[in-house]
Amino acid sequence: MGGSSRILIIGATGYIGRHVAKASLALGHPTFLLVRDSTASSKPEKAQLLDSFKASGANILNGSLEDHASLVEAVKKVDVVISTVGGEQIANQFNIVRAIKEVGTVKRFLPSEFGNDVDNSHAVEPAKSVFELKAKVRRAIEAEGIPYTYVSSNCFAGYFLPSLAQPGLTAPPRDKVVILGDGNAKAVYVNEEDIGTFTIKALDDPRTLNKTLYLRLAANTLSFNEVVRLWEKKIDKTLEKVYVPEEQVLTLISETPFPGNIGIAIGHSIFVKGDQTNFEIGPDGVEASQLYPDVKYTTVDDYLSKFV
């Protein structure tokens, strides 16, 4: 009873791409991964990951976003294209739009999003430009009339929860916690495996066609103060809380050089401005756990239990 849509994943060895690829294989889709020649040969850790994907039935295609012919050949093989590229490759997604337009048979494109909803943002620079670039990719997709789903998966749980967003920590703090703003803005923490599963569930669902899929899971939509309180309950201890007012956050952003300033500016958007939840989901959006109530996802509470 595997999925029948053929899937191309671009960026499958990356941070979130590996979870999307795993979910695609686990849910039985014929899965194609566009991978640079150099990825396997120069990075042992990625080579190992690709081997495990191959063992699970993935088809590895050599190519890249800069090699148009390779991209077109890959796109021709599939029904759905998912991009999970990051960093400077975000801008190269216009090449995917061109290739999909040229091939003409793709039924759905999911560009690399997997964070805040970029059309509902109060981010300041340098995060503002990062989000605006993703919005430009959305506009290019829409201008070409390519069927799409945008996955707004909000905070990666595996990145924010193990440290409670405290730089340099690998386990939640047991003495002191620094909180951007007043800690009351709500954010959404989603386990990376669950992001993979919801993404694959949505990619050929007519209910997500030309819509944004919001992963705003109720049990994981919490203010920073609430996350801290959950943790305090688990360790049965009250932490010292240092609140950083918005003006100080803005100063910190301008006094931190690249690339540290991007991380703080994203933190400002999420934790001070509440950009993951400060808007209503409109007619162009759907919420993942409402569409797929059977998917059992990891809650923030479960997640934090690992560190007690």
Contact 203, 20 (CB under 8 A): no
Least CB distance to its own copies at residue 15 (A): 4
Give the C-alpha distances (Å, rounded to integers) separating 42 from 18, 130, 282: 18, 28, 45
Complex with its own copies: residue 46 or 211, whichever CB lies closer = 46
Residue 109 · residue 206 · CB < 8 Å? no
Annotated active-site residue in 22, 46, 134, 201: 134
Strands (E), the chain: 7-10, 31-35, 59-62, 80-83, 108-110, 149-152, 155-156, 176-180, 186-190, 211-214, 221-223, 240-244, 285-287
Task: Give the number of C-alpha atoms closer than 13 A to the C-alpha of residue 132, restricted to the C-beta side.
Answer: 8
* Whether residue 273 lies in the annotated active site: no
CA-nearest of 68, 39, 57, 47 to 3 is 57
Q: Which is nearer to its own copies, 13 or 191 (CB)?
A: 13
For residue 54, the minimal CB distance to its own copies (Å) is 18
Q: Smallest Cα–Cα separation from 184: which of 273, 118, 301?
A: 273
**Left (φ > 0), alpha (ψ -120 to 50) or beta: where does 86 sit?**
beta
Minimum separation from the CB atom of position 147 to its own copies (A):
26
Question: Pairing state of beta strands 240-244 and 176-180?
Answer: parallel
Q: How far is the CB of 64 from its own copies (least distance, A)?
A: 11
Closest C-alpha among 165, 308, 262 to residue 223: 165
Token pair recorded at residue 203? 């990619």
Nearest to 160 by CA among 169, 152, 151, 148: 169
Q: What is the DSSP letter of 11?
A: S
Q: How far is the CB of 115 from its own copies (least distance, A)?
A: 8
Binding site for its own copies (CB under 8 A): 13-16, 43-46, 86-89, 125-126, 129-130, 132-133, 156, 159, 166-169, 247, 250-251, 254-263, 266
CB nearer its own copies, residue 87 or residue 147: 87
Q: How far is the CB of 206 from its own copies (least distance, A)?
A: 31
Catalytic amino acids? 134
